[in-house]
């Protein structure tokens, strides 16, 4: 399932916070907020906790990606042909994986719009 594996990989990169995904933008905002607005002890602890959480997230998500692309020498390719779900399954995955990357690249307009909505509500 190559399309599914690629979509899983992109979503995993977003959860880990690897650039240029939307997860990186949110982790960056959290880290800069912790460094600028917190007392000295908490200013250092915030980014450290974010790095630890990113490493733990990578530790449990990336083995699935690695096994998906490199199943090992004992994998029987003849018994497991390449197959993928139908279009009704793959198209939403592709759209969501693209959104993970696009919202990371074009985060500034989204943040500006959200700030405008937040200012209007308050």
Query: How far, in Å, CA of 118 to CA of 121, rounded?
Result: 5
40 confidence band (pLDDT: 50, 70, 90): confident
How far from 67 is each of 5, 78, 97, CA to CA, in Å?
10, 17, 20
Please give the pLDDT value at position 65.
94
Residue 82 has a CB neighbour count (10 Å cut-off) of: 7
Summarize pLDDT for 60-119 with one digit per residue, the tens: 999 999 998 888 888 887 787 778 888 999 999 999 999 999 999 999 999 999 999 999
Provide the 3-class DSSP secondary structure of residue 77: coil
pLDDT of residue 47 exceeding 80, the answer is yes
Average pLDDT over residues 15-22: 94
Please give the pLDDT value at position 13.
96
Given a contact cutoff of 8 angstroms between Cβ atoms, the answer to whether 43 and 35 are in contact is yes
Residue 49 has a CB neighbour count (10 Å cut-off) of: 14
* Domain edges within the chain: 2-71+85-121
How far from 32 is each of 15, 46, 107, 114, CA to CA, in Å?
18, 9, 16, 18
């Amino acid at each position: 399932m190559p399309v599914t594996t690629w979509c899983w990989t992109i979503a995993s990169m977003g959860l880990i916070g690897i650039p240029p995904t939307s997860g990186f933008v949110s982790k960056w905002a959290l880290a800069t907020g912790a460094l600028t607005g917190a007392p000295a002890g908490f200013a250092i602890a915030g980014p450290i906790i974010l790095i630890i959480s990113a490493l733990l997230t990578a530790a449990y998500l990336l083995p699935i990606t690695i096994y998906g692309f490199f199943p090992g020498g004992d994998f029987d390719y003849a018994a497991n042909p390449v197959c993928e779900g139908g279009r009704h399954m793959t198209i939403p995955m592709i759209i969501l994986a693209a959104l993970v990357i696009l919202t990371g690249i074009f985060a500034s307009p989204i943040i500006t719009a959200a700030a405008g909505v937040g200012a209007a509500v308050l």
